[in-house]
Amino acid sequence: MKNALLGCSISLSIHYWRSVFSSTKFLGKGPVFKEGAQKLQEGQCEVTAETSQQVVFVQEKQIGDNEKTLKAYKEGKLQKLLEMNGHTPVPHSYDYDLIVIGGGSGGLAAAKNENWSPLMGDEAVGKQQEAAKYEKKVMVLDFVMPTPLGSSWGLGGTCVNVGCIPKKLMHQAALLGQALQDSRKFGWQFTEEVKHNWMTMTEAVQNYIGSLNWGYRVALREKNVTYENAYGEFVGPHTVKATNKRGVAKLYTAERFLIATGERPRYLGIPGDKEYCISSDDLFSLPYCPGKTLVVGASYVALECAGFLAGLGLDVTVMVRSILLRGFDQDMANKIGEYMEEHGINFIREFVPIKVLLAIGRDACTRKIGLDKVGVKINEKTGKIPVNDEEQTNVPYIYAIGDILQDKLELTPVAIQAGRLLVRRLYAGATSKCDYVNVPTTVFTPLEYGACGYSEETAVEKFGEENIEVYHSHFWPLEWTVPSRDNNKCYAKIICNIQDNERIIGFHVLGPNAGEITQGFAAAIKCGLTKEQLDSTVGIHPVCAEIFTTLSVTKRSGENILQAGC
């Protein structure tokens, strides 16, 4: 019932009172119009005790009509009200309402969706007609620093160029190799030797990525978002310097900023690491087959890359410092390691590698964008940015999303969701915040791992071992029975909160198409799925996900969970 207004030479959270009457009564002139206007004035007077047609509110506080508003401004009361809750007076107009630093998935999602008005709750009525008032002037700054070996890429960030997309496609290439082996047992006959061509694969993958890069640029243009291929760096309050690849710099100002710079691979810090090693930033566009490879690290990036390289027929060894998949459920992580070893991937073996792939972690791209010049606090050890539950930094007009956030999940869909919800809160009056707990994800190792919610270790730590119940079972995909391979390697596990009607707080699955399985269950978990509801669900036979409707053995019972068939 309040409309935003800009006035008094400063950015005000000022609103006019507006009664809701049938719009047809206010069209044209004559007695009907006068009668409607009189009713509007009477209704306004009843609520605000003001007879003026225009009543101003600041920060939900009633100021009064135009005369009273001007008086409050001259007395400095408006400025004080605006400084509450992080609102600061705007000394001048800005070049942009929002500047996004970083053209990855999260930054682009925020930029492209920033000028639309979603329908939310009781405010839904009439929002379509009012959508135009949320259109903002937006800029995206994106610049990729080449790797030590010179690898670079286009708009779209890590996921599109050197992460999720090429990783999943190369994982698929490895799965096709396994399918060829299985096919003989299903009656397929072929005599010629089957070989894999690295260059054919990488060329096809890079062509697809190039189409995505172009699509993002077109989408920004269609949304009237300004895009500059330039390095963004804060140089003062509300001001950034954008430097392009030719070294030409420009200054831009904005009312708000969103930091979405992501992370880049970490190097060992020893002689030769940047000259003779590659990272995931280089691998997916590598112009030659890497051959015998040592993968240093045990993160999901390390294990995924090791998995598809081995699946393509390469000799692969993984060097592990401590544990596999830190931050993930360790029961599942160890099963993945066992499976990979059984399928020919070496772990910490002495040999002479031809190529070393570093996957020892990633560093937040926050230390060289001028955050110190505007007072944004970062974790000095990690470079991560602490934010509140609305992705707001300690500087009120600067926000951050994605992998650079401290103690948050480093996942592309999470950054996208956080970006979308942020701009809806900033410009469309929404209140929904990003859920960083019930998040589904998949690790595309040779034996795929899907998860949603708490790991078993975290659940025990948060709720207490006596308050959780773990149901689990092995299973054998029907597709694997005819080739007679990998029986009792796939595994399903749910973690339930006993004190909350056995609500499912953790979901974990190892098996083919784990991501497809997890995505469906994630929606149910978000809605508060309980063990009883899961048990009452009819399974689809014969599919892998069916196992979750028949889980009956608890981990604490110690009973046998091996399966003899599908």
Catalytic (active-site) positions: 541
| 267 touches 147 (CB < 8 A) | no
| 348 touches 377 (CB < 8 A) | no
Alpha-helical (H) ranges within 223-327 are 273-276, 280-283, 300-311
**Nearest by Cα to 82 from 54, 99, 57:** 57
**Nearest by Cα to 309 from 160, 183, 445:** 445
Q: Report the amino acid identity of residue 232.
A: G
As given in the structure block, the two tokens for residue 457 are 């270790």
As given in the structure block, the two tokens for residue 99 are 């500047």
Q: How far is CA 368 from the centre of its chain?
A: 23
| CA torsion through residues 109, 113, 119, 122, sign | positive
Q: Return the exposure string of 26-53: e unless at least 16 CB atoms fall within 10 Å of the residue's CB, then b.
A: eeeeeeeeeebeeebeeebeeeeebebe
Residues paired with residue 357 on neighbouring β-strands, in sequence order: 278, 295
**Nearest by Cα to 402 from 385, 388, 381, 426:** 385
Find where tokens 């993160």 sit.
299
Instruction: Classify 65 as helix, strand or coil.
Output: coil
